[in-house]
Amino acid sequence: MLDRLGDKWTVLVVVELAKGVRRFRELERAIPGISQRMLTLTTKRLWRDGLVERTVYPTIPPQVEYRLTPVGHSLAGMVNGLADWSREHKDAIATARATWDADQEADRL
Amino acid sequence: MLDRLGDKWTVLVVVELAKGVRRFRELERAIPGISQRMLTLTTKRLWRDGLVERTVYPTIPPQVEYRLTPVGHSLAGMVNGLADWSREHKDAIATARATWDADQEADRL
């Protein structure tokens, strides 16, 4: 399951669904660069894992809605926590890298 | 930075260092399957990002110790939170998958 969090598309779909119910097309529009095939695969996996609920309305054409289950919401909470952590420490990490690179450069001279 | 959490070796090194200071050889032994090259690369990246501190003792041969910085510790906290989440929901996810697979099978018959 932890491996799954390394999957960019899974993370983006979970974050989007944390905002509310979404139709397939809405997810597609909200996640630039995702192909229809990849979105189908990602939502199917999340559905199979019980993290997402899928409702089909028998309209023409049929409408499909996705929403997080309670377990899915708890995962979204963790993912948002990580995203917050990442935002909070972005500058510190960038500074650390710049310092490290400068030190290495100095050692080389 | 979030991408990095999809890297299994980074996660395992961070989790191991969350337990305390480790020498290179100790990390190597604690993480089965990691190659010396991959461990060198992983610790170097974490060091460059300011998540890990590296101390070299001028013994013969030189001893190298790694420890988490405060930022590294806060990341370890997030990672451990995810691991806890994963453990807590493992059974629920396995059950959801089995139910889903059985439903698909039933639809096919």
Q: For chain B, say whether A94 makes contact (Cβ under 8 Å).
A: no
Tally of domains in chain B:
1
Interface probe for B, chosen from A87, A93, A100 (most Cβ of B below 10 Å), is: A93
- Does residue B85 lie within any of the structural domains? no
**Which chain B residues are within 8 Å of A81, Cβ to Cβ?**
78, 81
pLDDT at A82: 84
Task: Compare CB distances from A11 to B2, B92, B101 and report the shortest one's residue.
Answer: B2
Computed over every residue of chain A, the mean pLDDT equals 91
User: pLDDT at residue B64 above 70?
Assistant: yes
Q: Let me know how long chain B is.
A: 109
Task: Compare CB distances from A50 to B1, B82, B96 and report the shortest one's residue.
Answer: B96
Task: Compare CB distances from B1 to A2, A86, A95 and report the shortest one's residue.
Answer: A86
pLDDT at A13: 95
- Does residue B44 lie within any of the structural domains? yes
Domain range spanning residue A29? Answer: 3-108
The 3 state secondary structure assigned to chain B is: CCHHHHCHHHHHHHHHHCCCCEEHHHHHHHCCCCCHHHHHHHHHHHHHCCCEEEEEECCCCCEEEEEECHHHHHHHHHHHHHHHHHHHHHHHHHHHHHHHHHHHHHHHC
Q: Of B63, B82, B104, B77, which Cα lies nearest the Cα of A11?
A: B82
For B15-27, write each residue's pLDDT tens digit.
999 999 999 999 9
Interface ipTM > 0.85: no
Interface probe for B, chosen from A44, A48, A79 (most Cβ of B below 10 Å), is: A48
Map residue A1 onto helix, strand or coil: coil
B107 pLDDT band, cuts 50/70/90, is: confident
Task: Compare CB distances from A85 to B6, B78, B90 and report the shortest one's residue.
Answer: B78
Map residue A63 onto helix, strand or coil: strand
Domain with residue B8: its CATH number is 1.10.10.10
Q: Classify residue A55 by its DSSP letter.
A: E
Contact A50 B6 (CB under 8 A): no
